Chains A and B, each alone.
Chain A
């Protein structure tokens, strides 16, 4: 009886208003797009609802033509047929945001993809953020000054990234671009827990197996506790691949507006450009260079401009973007790479030649740059890394010269040895990010000659021993001091010098010859 009473109340309380609404009809549908007649008052980017039998399939008005509307279908396009009625929704596409998204894998529409049930509880507050949004204005921003440590020695020392910066990762296929991004995400779990950013990884056009592997890796390293995955794999329609980065940015903006830091990895924007090209060609937009539509620059510019460091008056939150671009045969001067290079605040260029020589990460320091620079570095790193770039540049010049010269003067020979040592020091295996205080001491040791008598093949092992030694013997008085102060004060530097001298004595007595702290 209670059930009947409830049902009766619901029926009596049900209010249904009859109103006149404008409708359109599907003229043609296929390949994920539909042409719709009528709807003369449809707005650009408005959500349209296609009544495909029993199902309502959402679509977005993309092309507003004289006699029809070209729409991209967001749901299952297979049920959409000619003659189906289409209604306007009166709203633009938005995605539901909230803390509940953390640790989940969702698609471009915010729907869960990880089989763990609904993302939001029914009683949770409904907050929607528009997928397309105006970027913060000049007045709302402030300069990037807080570092975002990647855990990669080469990057944090020479191409530092700040919170609110856009730093491009560019290189050929299978060169370590995604690995670098994943290591950065993992490192956020150990860098500064109090200021840990929410990480959002957007997979655009990737293999589902790759996305699954990334999810498993992040879970293994505990990074899923602060990461959201937005997945639009290769099997997803082009419309979802096109929307995924914008939806992910909307999610990131939610956290930014809460005063928090967020990190967004777009993997990758080359495939995003392909998806947009596909949609534009299907909608018969005029093709331009390389068959891309005329607004391909705007596609990425308006996306990446939403990454910012907000001023104190606006909450001091930040959104850092790490877009990834895949080049073909190292060609950074092609269309899409040059577009994105001109938008971002710097690039990390991974070179195939260095990769095959065993330099991992295969960072080309000469072609890589961070336009924010040392403003986004801790004082400690600024102090030790200042000479690093110069010494490596000198080494690169001399390395070419030494192939022809038979006898070298002492200064040149030392410079070459130092360059080799520094190159070995900057090598780093995958999934092993290093905290900045340890990077500081290792680079200090390298640039101040403490590794000069170590054979290049042994540098990696020796630096691991050094870190292990400092961790065990000088954790509080050196490493923690650097970590807390984020600087290298003179007294700590003196202690470090003494510790390095002690270490060298121990090393010479072969104490560590049988132990490998990496195992």
Chain B
């Protein structure tokens, strides 16, 4: 690879700044062509993830993925916003197999696991 994943992501993120939605779409298409030309098609996912990370970081946005046993209530969302911040990019999924509680993944780096399933697993392992 001529440049690192971070360098590709930084260049693309910086190019996106100040562009309209349609311009950003065209820029994204060209970026993927560049990756293909550089022989980096197989590494596109880590680069795209890094782009997402830098994009959110620049805008002070936190990516929060919540997997819960039941749909989130408004109060729960407010409580999460109170702790993490208002500028949140939400990803919510409902997984009944979690039995109870929820798993919160912040910026794909920090995990808070408060599900009933994990608690039971730890209980039976101990």
Chain A contact residues, CB within 8 Å of chain B: 10-11, 14, 16, 18-25, 27, 37-38, 40, 66-68, 85, 87
Shortest distance from the beta carbon of A87 to any chain B beta carbon, whole Å: 8
Note all chain A residues with C-beta closer than 8 A to B123. Answer: 10-11, 14, 16
Complex CA gap A20/B122 in Å reads: 16
Q: Which chain B residues border A67 with CB–CB below 8 Å?
A: 4-6, 46, 50
| Contact indicator B46/A16 (Cβ below 8 Å) | no
Q: Does B52 contact A (CB under 8 A)?
A: no
Residue of B nearest to A85 (CB): B111
Given contacts A21-B113, A23-B111, 15 further A-B contacts (CB under 8 A): A10-B123, A11-B123, A14-B123, A14-B126, A16-B122, A16-B123, A18-B112, A18-B114, A20-B112, A21-B112, A23-B105, A23-B109, A27-B46, A37-B49, A40-B109
Interface residues of B in 35-94 (CB under 8 A from A): 45-46, 49-50
Contact of B108 among A18, A38, A87 (CB under 8 A): A38
Would you call B25 an interface residue if the criterion is a C-beta within 8 Å of the partner chain's C-beta atoms?
Answer: no
- Annotate B91-126 by CB proximity to A: 1 below 8 A, 0 otherwise: 000000000000001101111111000010011001
* A38 x B4 contact (CB < 8 A): no
Chain A interface, DSSP helix/strand/loop, else mixed: strand
Question: In the complex, what residue of chain A is closest to B45 when comparing beta carbons?
Answer: A27
- The docked-state distance in angstroms from the alpha carbon of A348 to that of B88 is 68
Residues of B within 8 A of A (CB): 4-6, 45-46, 49-50, 105-106, 108-114, 119, 122-123, 126
With a cutoff of 8 Å between Cβ atoms, the chain A residues found around residue B46 in the complex are 27, 37, 67-68
Option from A14, A19, A27, A38 in Cβ contact (under 8 Å) with B109: A38
In the complex, 18 of the A-B residue pairs with CB atoms within 8 angstroms, ordered by the A residue number, are: A14-B123, A16-B119, A18-B113, A19-B112, A20-B110, A21-B110, A21-B113, A22-B110, A23-B105, A23-B111, A24-B109, A27-B45, A40-B109, A67-B5, A67-B6, A67-B46, A85-B111, A87-B111
A176 to B4, CA, bound (A): 51
Chain B residues near A87 (CB-CB < 8 A):
111
Given A14-B126, A16-B123, A20-B112, A66–B4 Cβ distance below 8 Å?
A: yes
Contacts of A38 in B (CB 8 A): 108-109
Q: In the assembled complex, which residues on chain A have CB atoms less than 8 Å from the CB atom of B111?
A: 20-23, 85, 87
Give the Cβ gap from B22 to chain A, nearest Cβ, in Å: 30
Q: Which residue of A lies closest to B114 (CB)?
A: A18
Compute how far the CA of A244 lies from the CA of B122 in the bound complex, rounded to whole angstroms: 31
Closest CB-CB distance, B80 to chain A, in whole Å?
A: 13
Closest Cβ of chain A to B109, distance in Å, is 5
* A18 nearest CB neighbor, chain B only: B114
| B6 / chain A contacts, CB cutoff of 8 Å | 66-67
Q: How far is the CB of A92 from chain B (nearest CB, A)?
A: 22
Residues of B with C-beta under 8 A to A20: 106, 110-112
Q: Is the CB of A25 within 8 A of B108?
A: yes
Q: What 4 pairs across the A-B complex have the smallest Cβ distances? A: A23-B111, A18-B114, A67-B5, A20-B112
Q: Give A67 to B50 CA distance when docked, in angstroms.
A: 9
Measured CB to CB, the nearest residue on chain B to A68 is B46
Interface centre among A18, A22, A87 (most CB of B within 10 A): A18
Complex interface: chain B residues within 8 A of A37 (CB)? 46, 49
Nearest Cβ on chain B to A491's Cβ, whole angstroms:
70
When chains A and B are docked, how far (Å) is the Cα of A79 from the Cα of B43? 23
CA–CA, A20 and B114, complex, Å: 10
Q: State how many angstroms separate the Cβ of A204 from the closest Cβ of chain B.
A: 33
Task: Give the one of A14, A22, A40 with max B CB within 10 A.
Answer: A14
Question: Looking across the interface, which residue of chain A has its beta carbon closest to that of B7?
Answer: A66
Residue of chain B at shortest CB distance from A27: B46
In the assembled complex, which residues on chain B have CB atoms less than 8 Å from the CB atom of A85? 111
Contact A22 B109 (CB under 8 A): yes
Residue from the list A23, A25, A27 in contact with B110, Cβ < 8 A? A23
Contacts of A21 in B (CB 8 A): 110-113
Q: How far is the CA of A430 from the CA of B125 in the complex (A)?
A: 50
